[in-house]
Amino acid sequence: MTRFTLGGAVLRGTVSTALIASLMSAPALAAPPVDLSKWSPEYVRSIAGTQEFDTAADCAKVTPLDYKGRLTFWYQGVFEGDPDLLRQYYKDFFETFRKTYPNIQLEEQALTYNDLLDKFRTALLGNAAPMAVRLQILGGTEFASKGYLQPLKPEDVGYSTDDFWPGAMKAVTWDGVTYGIPTNNETMAFIWNADIFKRAGLDPDKAPATWDDVVKYSKQIHDKLGIAGYGLVARKNAGNTPYRFMPQLWAYGGGVFDEAKANPTYQQIELDSPQSKAALQASYDMYVRDKSVPVSALTNQQADNQPLFLAGQLGMMISHPSDYNVMLDLQKKATGTDKDKAQTVIDNMRYGLIPTGPDGKRAVVFGGSNIHILKPEYVEGGKVDEPAAKAIICMWTSPEWSLKMAYAGSNPGNLNGFKTKWMKERLDKIKFLDVTTSMLPYGIPFPALPQSPEIMNIIIPDMLQNALTGAMTVDQAADDAAKKVKDLMGGL
């Protein structure tokens, strides 16, 4: 394990200020990773549809409905891997906002997960950012720590901080100040094709219990059927990679820091620990030793695995419950015998909990997105229309829309979303939702550090690629990644 000292970081220069500030945010760090013990599928079913909400009336208290203004807004929107259902809800949201606030001139721009951070950072350098932005959960602390964001808490748009997941609030808190509001939060699950399992001689109704089993099952599927067993993803600069590798890393007892522990301090770098190396070894065994995962894993992302799964060429993968709807969408577009084959795969889709590590640890990324307001000096024109920004934030984070905008693949950021009638409808409509709800107690947020985007989007995928291509051994790749994190935290 690599240890970097705070004193050393201070000596290295100005970046240490950010680190000190992170360590000073004691209340946030003292909170448990995610306190979600009561959020079982049964609990969710018991509260669904128990409360009515009037979004327009609630938001009118924040910004009057006849308010006249202008708002520029960027958001992480739907992309090719999302179901059509979600596309429709996004369309509905902006239509509803325009109807609710007819005098706010809204100029929205949708960007994909992988493009948003780069474009937003560039815009900030030129003081050409939008007034409000919806970022992936990783982005909150980075931009808050640099001073780009205005303080913004749920109370500012008529809600209570207690209505949001504690782990999600941590991702928008920097130096004790809240700089954003979570829109949605998610935990993924494990999906497999029961028919492939059966043909490979595996129990079709049982997910692999451990990650070691995933390695074994993947090999068995590949050896017996000649297709890919597990949908490994190791592309760089793609959000899918950390969302799929970190659960494995944490399950083996590893981590980037101590983020998987109850009270993380982010002082100890764990990427080069024996546990982290064991997790990387599991990926190496599947990709190099057994050749049981897609060879294209290094350039692919999850959107590339979905058609493989639907074509019956992939046995299992980590994903959202929305993949069931994505499969339905893809099946509708298939023709001839492909349509029947796709239907067979859909009928054989099974969802289960993400496997555990050798010591029984189960983990999943507690992901999601946040919404923020920029400081005027970084915005094009130097002005922020705060009432207009708060109007859209109030609507998006309302129980109604935080649920609808996360309808197929995620959970509402506002916990009251679970109480709406749409949640009840969703439980009936979205298959396998229970499984991802069952994963909530195992959710671990990414480290709430400004350096997290680089760690998750570049250093972790680099580590995987270095090991899987043979450019480095597993040990070297892990040590190299740990050194990169150490350098990064030291301001290099």
Partner 1 sequence: MLRKIWEHRADYAYVLPAIAVMLVVIAYPIYYTIELSFFNTPPGLQLRDKTFIGFNNYTAILTSAVFWKVTWNTLIWTVGSTVISFVLGFAAALALHRDFFGRGVLRAILIIPWVISAVAASYIWKWIYHSDFGIIGAVLVGLGLADRPPNFIDSVSTVLPSLIVVNIWREFPFAMIMMMAGLQTVPEQLLRAAKVDGANAWQRFWHVTFPHLSNVSTVTILLLAVANFNSFIIPWIMTGGGPSNASHIWITHIYELAFGRQRWGVASAYSVLLFIILMTLGYFYVRALSGNDRKDGGA
Among 247, 254, 294, 357, indicate the residue that binds partner 1 (CB under 8 A): 294
Q: Does 14 bind partner 1 (CB under 8 A)?
A: yes
Q: Does 313 bind partner 1 (CB under 8 A)?
A: yes
Instruction: Find the part of the chain contacting partner 1 (CB under 8 A) among 34-42, 139-147, 356-364, 365-373.
Output: 139-147
Q: Does 344 bind partner 1 (CB under 8 A)?
A: no
Q: How far is the CB of 454 from partner 1 (least distance, A)?
A: 5
Q: Does 297 bind partner 1 (CB under 8 A)?
A: yes
298/406 with CB nearer partner 1: 298
Sort strands 132-136 and 69-76 into parallel, antiparallel or unpaired: parallel
Q: Does 15 bind partner 1 (CB under 8 A)?
A: yes
Tokens, residue 475: 């040990």
Size of the site for partner 1 (CB under 8 A): 43
- 421 backbone dihedrals φ, ψ, rounded to 5°: -70, -25
Q: How far is the CB of 72 from partner 1 (least distance, A)?
A: 21
CA distances from 350 to 2, 109, 308, 484 (A): 40, 36, 16, 39
Instruction: Find the part of the chain contacting partner 1 (CB under 8 A) among 75-83, 192-200, 202-210, 229-237.
Output: 229-237
Q: How far is the CB of 285 from partner 1 (least distance, A)?
A: 17
Q: Comparing C-alpha atoms, which of 283, 195, 275 is closest to residue 233?
A: 283
Q: How far is the CB of 19 from partner 1 (least distance, A)?
A: 8
Q: Comparing C-alpha atoms, which of 291, 290, 334 is closest to residue 312?
A: 334
Q: Does 471 bind partner 1 (CB under 8 A)?
A: yes
314/373 with CB nearer partner 1: 314
Among 185, 283, 416, 465, indicate the residue that binds partner 1 (CB under 8 A): 465
Q: CA–CA separation, 371 vs 156, rounded Å?
A: 13
| Contact assessment for residue 370 and residue 120, using Cβ atoms and an 8 Å cutoff | no
Among 8, 27, 102, 147, indicate the residue that binds partner 1 (CB under 8 A): 147
Q: Does 306 bind partner 1 (CB under 8 A)?
A: no
Q: Does 125 bind partner 1 (CB under 8 A)?
A: yes
| Contact assessment for residue 78 and residue 90, using Cβ atoms and an 8 Å cutoff | yes
137/308 with CB nearer partner 1: 308
Q: Does 316 bind partner 1 (CB under 8 A)?
A: no
CA distances from 371 to 56, 110, 138, 195 (A): 19, 13, 12, 41
Q: How far is the CB of 109 from partner 1 (least distance, A)?
A: 17
19/131 with CB nearer partner 1: 19
Among 195, 329, 454, 479, indicate the residue that binds partner 1 (CB under 8 A): 454
Q: Does 413 bind partner 1 (CB under 8 A)?
A: no
Contacts with partner 1 in 187-226 (CB under 8 A)? Answer: none
User: Is the torsion defined by CA of 82, 433, 351, 134 positive or negative?
Assistant: positive
Contacts with partner 1 in 20-79 (CB under 8 A)? Answer: none
Instruction: Find the part of the chain contacting partner 1 (CB under 8 A) among 157-165, 268-276, 368-376, 455-463.
Output: 455-463
| Contact assessment for residue 172 and residue 181, using Cβ atoms and an 8 Å cutoff | yes
Q: How far is the CB of 473 from partner 1 (least distance, A)?
A: 13
Among 231, 457, 481, 485, indicate the residue that binds partner 1 (CB under 8 A): 457
105/313 with CB nearer partner 1: 313
Q: Calculate helix-pair angle for 460-468, 240-251, nearest 10 degrees.
A: 80
* Contact partners, residue 329, CB within 8 Å, separation at least 6: 83, 84
Q: Does 450 bind partner 1 (CB under 8 A)?
A: yes
125/262 with CB nearer partner 1: 125
Chain centre distance of CA 279: 20
Tokens, residue 413: 């950021």
Among 5, 109, 122, 473, indicate the residue that binds partner 1 (CB under 8 A): 122
276/465 with CB nearer partner 1: 465
- 337 backbone dihedrals φ, ψ, rounded to 5°: -70, -20
Q: Does 145 bind partner 1 (CB under 8 A)?
A: yes
Q: Does 13 bind partner 1 (CB under 8 A)?
A: yes
Q: Does 177 bind partner 1 (CB under 8 A)?
A: no
Instruction: Find the part of the chain contacting partner 1 (CB under 8 A) among 17-25, 30-38, 101-109, 331-339.
Output: 17-25
Among 98, 121, 199, 206, indicate the residue that binds partner 1 (CB under 8 A): 121
Instruction: Find the part of the chain contacting partner 1 (CB under 8 A) among 163-171, 227-235, 278-286, 392-400.
Output: 227-235
Q: Note the residues at the interface with partner 1 (CB under 8 A).
A: 13-15, 17-19, 118, 121-122, 125, 145-148, 228, 234-237, 294-299, 308, 313, 450-451, 454, 457-458, 461-462, 465-466, 468-472, 488, 491
